[in-house]
Chain A
């Protein structure tokens, strides 16, 4: 459908789809939507694809750093009474490993894949709040830099990634280590909340006309569910870390039992966030898998409504599980029973999803390319983790398994299986869209098999080690315990994982340099991201598509309507209604600007100062206020565009 006025000559006399006009529009769109040149252009670029790529690259670097820490831990534990790392270094390394992987790698990368693909999949040009998106990235980057600067200065967190009090409190964690932890958490949680807001508003208000909510890809549903989960879960970890910072910095007694506080308060606050956190990591990966399975089998996912319900139910139920981390604390059995039941029942929606994928694969024609291999690997590895999860969900069984290497095995199986396998699959599936070049299949198969073998070799022995008495977070163990051989096997597995990641890095580099050109749609995929070039232009689509089904690219008719008439001389998008995506409005998105960076720096100064002094809060508040005033103040270009908009109505 054509809407409204365009720029230039009287639209009535010009056919909007005439090639000369199209070419002119493309050039104008390119000009309006491109970032500025050089370093300044890069720093101010608010294109969702640019921000997402920066998130993904940064998160991947953190993955490598976290992996190095894991490698150091496995080297230390390969032999009993090893002297590679002392207890102090080991405690910083395992705490930073966990904090990096959970806060700096897992959540940012899965939401960033969403930030890249969701606007493409729903047929719009950018996310709803582009500058906020860029601000979120800078805040995340500062948080990660804080953590690693801390680690390099011997001030890394030392009480584990969930930092129980009183060990992380002022008396038992001297210095600033736990303060660095608390503020790192603050940064990453602000960034995650911003990303979730972006996804929700973009998905609800900017879908292509005709893409009612029951036609959005399952990938988008997964991102939407995860975004809501972030909004409900993240504030709790912010509260917890703020309480910890207050206890340490200004002497409150929130966690001091002698003055009316309670160490268990920390555990409740943290785990009320911490359990949904792992599902926040897992649910987007379910979306990756749905897209890959559909694309690689050539048919839409079986049971779309049930799949949506499963995602939503998983999201809701994940908020009812958190006490299963506290089964050993002696809370009443009745409460524990409720959480035990919920922890087991949450396997049902995920199981249903696996059954639906199996049905899809059965009735489709699977192509055994690398993305599909990673999906198969995901199912195998994840369900092992799921079963050990059901085992530790049983309160009596948890008596033996809690806080041992059995849990380490379980959590790595579900996180590596449930998120990293789909993530690698997503990399092979969508990197061709991002870079325009395919990744090598042969290297990809080496990567897959080394990773699959490595993960099992590293983490399967840990089940036995845990039941054999090996507790978590030990920097060494006595030779007489007999834990040596299995630990050695696990360390060899870690080397295998390292090799597989090295293969992946080689593949990435080779693909950038000379991979096969991908074209628009190398996999013959069903969803809208494949309807534009690889890499997409800054404005995503010249003629925004409309849809009439869940798999628009497979059911595309030659006379499918497109959207024309949006302005090309400024950044304009189409806003549609929430349920049925009928065109509602048009909106101008803001120009690139340096203010997100400045506001992020002000935020950074505030929270880093709060590590050392309470004065950080008033001073920081002033800085942040100034930055946001500057942000909102129309630049001359914005002002000119606003006037032009109003004039031409």
Chain B
């Protein structure tokens, strides 16, 4: 790279930084999160409509959704904390499916966070005081991957167990449908 082509060198540096940025976030292993146990943000919303002027969205904790370690930990916790007991491997049983595009209480990570922490009517327990904040974010990130909404290089591969579901990295994306009415199965 000679000084006659500064733009080429700059472009290379920018490219390297971008690649570094992508690589770093996926591969960071964050072992410590500031405790306390999980409590949802007061500004969390379930719907995008509100009276008055538009309210800015709460920023998503994207760090977890782009972090392979977090998603992988979420997968482990999903099995170990028995989410499969109600949600099966995402197909739903007593609880609603998590791998489809219907999200009753919002599909963003912070919405899933709130759902896990606060509990929901018709059977979702409130895990608030019993899960560490980092664990809830990891679960939320994994749950997003179940509907294919996590980058393919971040999403986990097949589990080292009997196969009950497709590997998340090969799941096609299920874009959430904005819905405030409960799904058919839950209508009286």
Contacts and interface: CB of A to CB of B under 8 A. Distances in A.
Would A and B touch once assembled, by the CB under 8 A criterion?
A: yes
Nearest to A248: B157
Nearest to B72: A174
Nearest to B160: A171
B153 A251 contact: no
A153 B159 contact: no
Interface residues on A, range: 20 to 34
B23 A171 contact: no
A246 to B, nearest CB: 10
Nearest to B159: A171
B23 A153 contact: yes
A154 B160 contact: no
Nearest to B25: A154
A461 interface: no
B160 A153 contact: no
A177 B29 CA distance: 12
A76 to B, nearest CB: 17
Interface in A149-202: 152-155, 166, 169-172, 174-177
Interface in B131-174: 152-154, 156-163, 166-167, 170
Contacts, number: 75
A82 interface: no
Nearest to B20: A153
Contact of B69 (A174, A250, A256, A257): A174
Nearest to A172: B160
B157 A256 contact: no
Contact of B157 (A152, A251, A612): A251
Given A175-B68, A612-B152, A253 B27 contact: no
B71 interface: yes
A14 interface: no
A553 interface: no
A175 B30 CA distance: 13
B26 A258 contact: no
B158 A154 contact: no
Contacts of B29: 88
Contacts of B180: none
Interface string A232-272: 00000000000000011111110011110000000000000
B37 to A, nearest CB: 25
Interface string B7-33: 000000000000110011011110100
23 contacts: A88-B29, A152-B20, A153-B27, A169-B160, A170-B157, A170-B159, A170-B167, A171-B72, A171-B156, A171-B157, A172-B160, A174-B69, A174-B71, A176-B27, A247-B157, A249-B157, A251-B158, A251-B166, A253-B158, A256-B158, A256-B161, A259-B162, A612-B152
Interface of B: 19-20, 23-24, 26-29, 31, 68-69, 71-72, 75, 152-154, 156-163, 166-167, 170
